[in-house]
Amino acid sequence: MAPFSDPYLEHAIGGTPIVQLKNLAPSSGQVWVKIESGNPTGSYKDRMAYGVVKNAFARGDLKTGDRMVEYTGGSTGTALAHVAARCGIKFIAVSSDAFAQSKLDAMRAYGAEVIVVPSEERKITPELIAAMKQQAYEIADEPNTFYVDQFGSPDVIEGYVPVGQEIVEQIGADIDVFCAAVGTGGAFMGTTKGLNQAGQTPDLVALEPLQSPFLTTGQGGAHRIEGIGLGFTPPFLNLDRCDEIRAIDENEAFKMCKKLAVEEGIFCGPSTGLNVTAALEIAAERGPDSVTVTLGCDHGSKYGQTLP
Ligand SMILES: Cc1ncc(COP(=O)(O)O)c(C=O)c1O
């Protein structure tokens, strides 16, 4: 079976810049943010989408003309729709009106079929995620339909390994803490694997929204940070490897988006705001000699008026 390789995608995905915060972290330790919005659909999900599709083609699980399905808040869906368009497969996204309209539009722009599961007052709740998952499973049972399995496929983790490797090369110093918000946990664990492979073993701090503190309290809830805080422990997340799990107030995360744009020139979405809020807290606690790294998950332009 010939592996699928697309020279454009190989070149366009990854190799993103990293920024050290100057104005928001003047006297604390160093805070570095890996800016993933430069990937083709504006988020780090491009890395996992290409990783999953490439390896599925190589194994013969996917071939041109097949269908592929996943339930997604939109960033993963947009990334999958983009890769699907490149390699001639149809993508079906099970999503919801709880997520940014621009993401649903982007999936459709790449030719995806988008099934919208209605939410209550546009809130992301554990019940909504369960309803989306159920619908995706039913479609995945149909013939010639590949289930991406963003919560379980090892190809997801592998897709993010280069993030960690790039970070080590870019910073060129020992990293004390790596913190990142967790949805599937793929970016957090895959980046960690890359950091470890490149010789770095920072303390690991997994993050979640205070309004849906399942990992810290066992109780999920309604919140507004797209892509994370899903109300269950994602299978990728190895809690034994985490030094800490920290819940961050979503209101602080949204305020941080504004501050990052105005004071650092980084226009990002709310999960990045949450990551940076936590990274700054940690850097202040660890002191001036510390190095803390986090991820800039996606670009703020996806969120329209939901950002302050
Ligand atoms: C905008 C955004 N941030 C963060 C995440 C969390 O990433 P992961 O699923 O790799 O944990 C997601 C996942 O969908 C996302 O869409």
- Kindly give, in sequence order, each residue whose CB lies less than 8 Å from that of residue 275, ignoring residues fewer than 6 positions away: 33, 179, 180, 181, 207, 294, 295, 296, 297
Please check the confidence at residue 299 and state whether its pLDDT lies above 70: yes
Q: Write down all domains in the chain, each with its CATH number in brackets.
A: 7-43+155-306 (3.40.50.1100), 45-147 (3.40.50.1100)
Q: What is the distance in angstroms between the CA of the first residue and the CA of the last residue of the chain?
A: 49
Give the pLDDT band (50/70/90) at residue 123: confident
**Alpha-carbon torsion (293, 226, 101, 147), positive or negative:** positive
Please check the confidence at residue 1 and state whether its pLDDT lies above 70: no
Q: What is the pLDDT of residue 198?
A: 98
- Cα(95) to ligand 1 centroid in Å equals 14
Average pLDDT over residues 71-91: 94
Give the pLDDT band (50/70/90) at residue 2: low
Q: Whole-angstrom Cα distance, residue 195 to residue 204?
A: 11
Q: Give the pLDDT confidence of 229-239 residue by residue, as tens digits.
A: 988 999 999 99
Please check the confidence at residue 8 and state whether its pLDDT lies above 90: yes
Average pLDDT over residues 271-282: 98
Take atom 2 of ligand 1 and give the residue whose Cα is closest: 227
Give the whole-number percent of the chain exceeding pLDDT 70: 98
Q: What is the pLDDT of residue 305?
A: 66
Q: What is the pLDDT of residue 307?
A: 66
Give the pLDDT band (50/70/90) at residue 26: confident
Give the whole-number percent of the chain exceeding pLDDT 90: 89
- Cα(188) to ligand 1 centroid in Å equals 9
Atom of ligand 1 nearest to the CA of 76: 14
Q: What is the pTM of this model?
A: 0.95
Q: What is the pLDDT of residue 25?
A: 85
**Is the separation of the CB atoms in 91 and 112 below 8 Å?**
yes
> What is the crossing angle of helices 45-59 and 75-87, to 10°?
40
- Kindly give, in sequence order, each residue whose CB lies less than 8 Å from that of residue 130, ignoring residues fewer than 6 positions away: none
Q: What is the pLDDT of residue 5?
A: 82
Q: Give the pLDDT confidence of 125-172 residue by residue, as tens digits.
A: 889 999 999 999 999 999 999 999 999 999 999 999 999 999 999 999
Please check the confidence at residue 44 and state whether its pLDDT lies above 60: yes
Q: What are the distances in angstroms from CA 229 to CA 79, 177, 185, 218? A: 20, 21, 10, 11
- Cα(2) to ligand 1 centroid in Å equals 31
Average pLDDT over residues 32-59: 97
Q: What is the pLDDT of residue 66?
A: 96
Two tokens at 96?
Answer: 């919801």
Take atom 16 of ligand 1 and give the residue whose Cα is closest: 227
Average pLDDT over residues 119-128: 89
Atom of ligand 1 nearest to the CA of 75: 16
Which letter, b or e, does each residue of 46-76 get, where b requires 16 or more Cβ atoms within 10 Å of its Cβ? Answer: bbbbbbbbbbbbeeeebeeebbbbbbbbbbb
Mutating to test ligand 1, I would choose from 35, 43, 204 the residue with most ligand atoms within 8 A of its C-beta, which is: 43
Please check the confidence at residue 304 and state whether its pLDDT lies above 90: no
Which letter, b or e, does each residue of 192-205 get, where b requires 16 or more Cβ atoms within 10 Å of its Cβ? Answer: bbbbbeeebebbbb
- Cα(184) to ligand 1 centroid in Å equals 7
Mutating to test ligand 1, I would choose from 228, 248, 274, 302 the residue with most ligand atoms within 8 A of its C-beta, which is: 228
Please check the confidence at residue 264 and state whether its pLDDT lies above 90: yes
Q: What is the pLDDT of residue 200?
A: 98
Mutating to test ligand 1, I would choose from 75, 95, 102, 224 the residue with most ligand atoms within 8 A of its C-beta, which is: 75
Residue 187 Cβ < 6 Å to ligand 1: yes
Task: Work out the mean pLDDT of the chain and round it to a whole number.
Answer: 95
